[in-house]
Amino acid sequence: MTTTAKPRQSFVPVPAESHFPLENLPYGVFSTMADPAPRVGVAIGEMILDLAEIARAGLLPGLPEGVFAAAAINPFVALGRPVWSATRKRLQELLAADCPTLRDDAALRARALVAQGEARMHRPVEVMGFTDFYSSREHATNVGMMFRDKNNPLLPNWLHIPIGYNGRASTVVASATPVRRPLGQLKPPADEMPHLGPSARLDIELEMAVIVGRDTALGDVLTVAEADAAIFGYALLNDWSARDIQQWEYVPLGPFQSKAFATSIGDWVVTAEALEPFRVEGPVQHPAPLAHLRQSGPMNYDIQLAVDLAPEGTDALTVCRTSFRYMYWSSAQQLVHHASSGCTMRVGDVLGSGTVSGPTRAERGSLLEITWGGSEPIEFPNGLERRFLEDGDTVTITGWCEGEGYRVGFGSLTGTILPAQMPEAWKS
């Protein structure tokens, strides 16, 4: 759905197609040449509002000292939902066109408003734990058709629980961080024995990152409503995948090194409150989930997503356009399932939504699906083809919600592939 409310105006110029109007104000962590200390800001138009500076000026009363003078948003997120909401309201007031407090204070504006083009962005969250899910029915069906049974592509448990695995928090990296092609054990079907080498089937996974906003104690569980309220916000996510390494290693315990080498997270965390006008119903769940996973009312978001692929020296080509609304299992259901064993959840945990795919080829969120395992290559206007990622390729993901006369967006998430590094001693 889209909201029909008239867009609010800021004294900071906001271009018509900007992802960052007053209705958004996503949180990120940045630094500048003049002040290299990372701190928290919100995006407005083409600028960043330095929240550490605003707090020092006394314009955010009631918050702990230094909460925004931090290299991650975690200290602020830990303050809880009432503080998130009150702070968002206060920032909207300060940035509004009719509020003179910041608008008319030239000295403070000069200190507190930083051009995005002059800022260095950092990973916004100290990632306490990373869990990746597998919650798009279209994606799971496509993969099942390619690798298991065309007539029964979903495993029996898929329609009953959100399937996931524990990933590596240590390799969740900021946007624009180069990604090194991973080494791994590979075993082509015709080979008798595996060998060590660079992945030849390096892939993307178009996902959303869910930022957990509350701690739970060991043994505690969450209801769907509690889980929904515990989500601070969302960011873009690319969970890079080495399909050939994965194919050899995933039996019997699932992905390991094929997914551990890198996961890229976007610069900006859009709050759940900013996304509230864009809630939509998800797909009908049949059979009905067990009682603890049942939800009522809209629990998905209509976030438009796009993936561009640019070989080195070649113009980018959009290879996917899809929507987060397609996800079969909602983010709240994923969090409920994660905590249902009594597993401890912490502020700063990141849940990967799983690959976001839709019902058509143009809406498939991985190269594995787009090229159908490499059999249907992507063709570029200059004659280049891509089945999987090559060294030098750059992937850019964007996402936004479309309102009436404005967008609430996530900016972009990029990563460029670097060649693998193989020590001489490992070569045989």
Catalytic residue IDs: 139
Select from 214, 235, 170 the least CA-distant residue to 28.
Answer: 235
**Token couple for 33:** 């040449």
Q: Is 88 helix (H, G, I), strand (E, B) or coil?
A: helix
Q: Is 111 helix (H, G, I), strand (E, B) or coil?
A: helix
Indicate the residue type of 177: T
CA 59/CA 167 separation, integer angstroms: 39
CA 230/CA 212 separation, integer angstroms: 6
SS (H, E, C) 380-425: CCCCCEECCCCCCCEEEEEEEEECCCCEEEEEEEEEEEECCCCCHH
CB 27 within 8 A of CB 44: no
CB 304 within 8 A of CB 321: yes
CB 378 within 8 A of CB 309: yes
Query: What letter does residue 198 receive in the DSSP assignment?
Result: E
**Token couple for 142:** 């496509």
Indicate the residue type of 271: T
Q: How far is CA 346 from CA 215, 388, 422, in A?
A: 4, 35, 37
Q: Is 332 helix (H, G, I), strand (E, B) or coil?
A: helix
Beta strand 407-418 with 231-238 is unpaired
CA dihedral (399, 237, 26, 176) positive or negative: negative
CB 234 within 8 A of CB 356: no
Indicate the residue type of 216: T
**Residues listed for the chain:** 428
Q: Classify residue 411 as left (phi > 0), alpha (psi -120 to 50) or beta.
A: left
Helices marked H in 100-238: 100-103, 106-112, 137-147, 224-229
CB 353 within 8 A of CB 327: yes
